[in-house]
């Protein structure tokens, strides 16, 4: 099957006679209205851009000609060959790029035809319209970056089994802003979605007890509840206290630095995340399907050092995973190691995720 390079945001990797693989891309410019709307809502970023530099084959510096969703000065390509929908950026190339899970795949590049650009403009929601009716209190004067030099780094750790992790986390939208961002934070917090301003989170006001490590010495704030209308219940203080308040996604977009909300399942599905492990050191089971009554197909040891789980699919409170016993992470596969695929219960309403990952890698 020939590749169709008028790319879409979705793709299929097909097996050809003889065992070869081919990446099949649908033409996004000819997608139905419903299909294009779905792709628009699912994408993290959609930009018409020109590549101005290529620091590495899978990284591009871009000149944004027009943004339809999201922002940023760089793009990352899905690694791999044409056969697996991976590609390399070329200096000077110009496309409409669709970003999913942090990367652009081969099918996520569409020629900037006038018809496609007009259709994307029609789907774009102006910030003023999307945030209409959301309170925007004026910033109080004198909110400057914290100059305190000796700030202890003692964040919460996601592997602490009793810690309630909620539905997701908030951190800067741009990776380059994530270093020490709490010391620059300016964000209004509300009593309730219908209530008034509670306080301003300002430089020096957020304690380490409110931060959870989600990368190598980088932190996030925990979101305990996410509503469909964009309101988020944010924890900004000690987990033992009632230091919580509401923020809207519109407030995140205008915060300093610009922030974003990410559900845990989206973070866990990222290719940059290490294998998952259960937070509680007790034996677990791998089931044949996403049901507590489904047959058990394998048992998972209590000690997380003895196994690793790669997420393949999230479906509500269940996740399909590939389990290696013993773990193959940071080590060569051991003779006799077993690999199973099946379903685990990965979260609950009370605690949020039952699983976590190695935030500092190997």
DSSP 94-154: EEEEEEBTTBB-GGGEE---HHHHHHHHHH---HHHHTTT---PPPPTT------S-----
When comparing pLDDT for 333 and 214, which is higher?
214
**Distance between CA atoms of 63 and 48, rounded to whole angstroms?**
9
Do 11-124 and 276-357 share a fold? no
Enumerate the domain spans of the chain.
11-124, 168-268, 276-357
pLDDT at 208: 82
pLDDT at 143: 66
Helix (H/G/I), strand (E/B), else coil: 320: strand
The pLDDT of residue 277 is above 60: yes
pTM for this entry: 0.65
Confidence of residue 248 (pLDDT cuts 50, 70, 90): very high
- With vertex at residue 134, the alpha carbon angle to CA 218 and CA 249, rounded to the nearest 5 degrees, is 25
Confidence of residue 126 (pLDDT cuts 50, 70, 90): low
* CATH top class, domain 276-357: mainly beta
pLDDT at 150: 52
Give the architecture-level CATH label for domain 11-124: Beta Barrel (2.40)
Do 146 and 204 meet the contact criterion of CB atoms below 8 Å apart? yes
Percent of the chain past pLDDT 70, that is, above it, reads: 86
Task: Give tens-digit pLDDT for 78-119.
Answer: 988 888 889 999 999 999 999 988 889 999 999 998 899 989
- 354: its two tokens: 């039952």
Task: Give tens-digit pLDDT for 15-57.
Answer: 444 444 568 888 888 899 999 988 898 888 899 999 988 988 8
Q: In 16-119, where do the E strands start and end?
A: 21-25, 45-56, 59-69, 74-76, 94-99, 109-110
């Amino acid at each position: 099957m020939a590749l169709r390079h008028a790319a879409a945001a979705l793709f299929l990797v097909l097996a050809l006679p003889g065992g070869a693989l081919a990446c099949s891309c649908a033409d996004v410019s000819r997608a139905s209205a419903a299909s294009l709307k779905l792709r628009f809502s699912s994408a993290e970023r959609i930009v018409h851009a020109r590549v101005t530099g290529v620091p590495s084959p899978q990284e591009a510096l871009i000149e944004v000609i027009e943004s339809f969703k999201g922002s940023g000065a760089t793009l990352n390509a899905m690694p791999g060959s044409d056969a697996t929908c991976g590609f390399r950026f070329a200096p000077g190339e110009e496309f409409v790029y669709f970003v999913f899970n942090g990367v652009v795949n081969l099918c996520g590049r569409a020629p900037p035809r006038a018809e496609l650009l007009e259709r994307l403009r029609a789907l774009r929601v102006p910030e003023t319209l999307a945030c209409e009716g959301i309170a925007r209190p004026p910033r109080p004067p004198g909110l400057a970056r914290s100059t305190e030099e000796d700030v202890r780094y003692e964040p919460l750790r996601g592997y602490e089994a009793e810690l309630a992790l909620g539905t997701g986390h908030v951190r800067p939208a741009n990776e380059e802003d994530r270093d020490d961002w709490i010391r620059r934070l300016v964000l209004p917090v509300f009593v309730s979605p219908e209530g008034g301003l509670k306080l301003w989170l300002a430089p020096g006001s957020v304690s380490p007890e409110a931060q959870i490590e989600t990368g190598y010495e980088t932190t996030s704030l925990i979101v305990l509840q996410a509503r469909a209308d964009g309101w988020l219940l944010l924890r900004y203080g000690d987990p033992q206290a009632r230091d919580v308040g509401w923020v809207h996604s519109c407030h995140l977009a205008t915060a300093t630095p610009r922030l974003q909300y990410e559900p845990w399942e989206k973070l866990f599905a990222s290719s940059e995340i290490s294998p998952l492990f259960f937070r509680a050191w007790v034996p677990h089971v791998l089931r044949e399907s996403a049901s507590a009554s489904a047959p058990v197909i394998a048992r998972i040891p209590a000690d997380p050092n003895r196994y690793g789980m790669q997420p393949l699919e999230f479906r509500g409170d269940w996740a399909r995973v590939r389990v290696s016993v013993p773990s193959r992470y940071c080590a060569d596969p051991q003779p006799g190691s077993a690999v199973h695929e099946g379903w685990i219960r990965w979260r609950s309403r009370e605690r949020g995720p039952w699983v976590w990952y190695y935030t500092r890698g190997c």
